[in-house]
Amino acid sequence: MAKKILPFDQARHIWEDVIRDGKEIRLELELDIHKRLLNIIHIGNFYYYIFDIQNMTLPFVSDSITDILGYTPEEFTPEFFFTQVIHPEDVQYYVNFENKVAEFFNKLTVENIFNYKVQYDFRVRKTSGEYIRVLQQVVTLETTETGGVNKSLGIHTDISDIKSEGTPSLSIIGMNGEPSYLNIEAEEVFIPSKSLLSDREKEVLFHIIHGKHSNEIAEILGLSKHTILNHRRNILAKTGAKSTADLTVKTIQEGWV
């Protein structure tokens, strides 16, 4: 049965499983050159980062994260990502995908580790409260002679115009002649311990999508109009919906009530 624990702790446990002791083997990538390549092969705005798996840190985050999400490179840490940035409903996909990727890489030979790129999508929150969908693509930067992945390079590209809705999907792309694996099914190793919305927010949402106005909802639930308006603002912020119509569509798609 899947464990219900904090998502960052679960992810950290998964990442620790791909670390190995041994002499470092590096894929020499000059970041400036790589950035130019990214400008050619990626459509849309993006930021990139280096993930030091051994120390669970991001020693480098590109300045473009501020233009796209509003966060500074310094405040963007793995733990901050889990608690403040990724959409609460996409956390389970992220952790389950990471577990599947770790299983895959742990079966590779040292020679093949650099021949695969991992990609999947999810929603992230901007400082404005708006959510956008990004495609995360990750390649290995540094491994060891025993097959451990110690550092990786990740890119988050805004794909909101291409895929604004839908379920996140995982693919592992083979390079240099290696096979690719698309739309991979991932086992559940993490189940969120709480839903996106509180029980009261779900009550308010139920009446919103049935066309009730704030005054009517307040009367039905025995609350003040001010309290209902606060709930409406919180619901829009949590779901990333831009309007009542958008909220209604997302509620039906995601099954929030």
Domain at 237, CATH number: 1.10.10.10
Q: What is the pLDDT of residues 223-250, one digit of tens each?
A: 999 999 999 998 988 888 888 888 887 7
Name the pLDDT band for 100 (thresholds 50, 70, 90): very high
Q: Is 252 exposed, middle or buried (0-12, 13-18, 19+ CB in 10 A)?
A: exposed
Structure tokens at 182: 């698309």
Give me the number of domains the chain comprises. 2
Q: What is the pLDDT of residues 34-86, one digit of tens each?
A: 655 555 456 679 999 999 988 899 999 999 999 999 999 999 999 899 888 99
Percentage of the chain exceeding pLDDT 70: 83
Q: Specify if 183 maps to a domain.
A: no
Q: What is the pLDDT of residues 126-154, one digit of tens each?
A: 998 889 999 999 988 888 777 678 888 89
What domain range is 170 assigned to? 7-174
Cα end-to-end distance, the chain, whole Å: 25
Q: Cα angle at 11 between 171 and 186, to 5 degrees?
A: 35
pLDDT at 173 (0 to 100): 93
Q: Specify if 30 maps to a domain.
A: yes
Percentage of the chain exceeding pLDDT 90: 47
Name the pLDDT band for 157 (thresholds 50, 70, 90): very high
The CATH number of residue 64's host domain is: 3.30.450.20
Rounded to two decimals, what is the model's pTM? 0.68
Q: Answer yes or no: do 103 and 29 share one domain.
A: yes
Q: Answer yes or no: do 209 and 159 share one domain.
A: no
Name the pLDDT band for 2 (thresholds 50, 70, 90): very low
CA distance readout (Å), 74 to 26, 54, 57, 62, 77: 25, 19, 11, 10, 7
End residue of a domain, out of 174, 209, 231: 174
Q: Answer yes or no: do 62 and 148 share one domain.
A: yes
